[in-house]
Amino acid sequence: MRIERIVSTGQTTPEDQWYDQARDEFVLLIAGAARLRIEGEAEDRALAEGDWLLIPAHCRHRVTWTREDPPTVWLAVHC
């Protein structure tokens, strides 16, 4: 298990790249706002403070937008 705190200030995943992780990932948006794209879905998923998402292993996804100011703060648990 790995737990990480991520602070984003406008960062996104490059359009030609996807996260494809070997472990499940639980993501909680602690502060800010963000949008994630799950491969195969027609629209981004909007996340606001308190929203969470369980991303299964090998579910390709990317960050398409994060609020810059104040920063977006994530809690990610990889298990």
Q: In what order do the strands lie in the sheet with 61-66?
A: 45-48, 33-38, 61-66
**Cβ count within 10 A of residue 15:** 9
The answer to whether the CB of 19 falls within 8 A of the CB of 56 is no
Q: Computed from CA positions of residues 54, 39, 2, 46, in that sequence, does the dihedral angle turn out positive or negative? A: negative
Indicate which CATH number applies to the domain containing 37: 2.60.120.10
Residue range 43-73, pLDDT digits in tens: 999 999 999 999 999 999 999 999 999 999 9
Look at the chain and report how many structural domains it folds into.
1
Q: Which domain holds residue 33?
A: 2-78
Q: Are strands 33-38 and 61-66 parallel, antiparallel or unpaired?
A: antiparallel
What pLDDT is stored for residue 73 in this prediction? 98
What mean pLDDT is reported for the chain?
A: 97
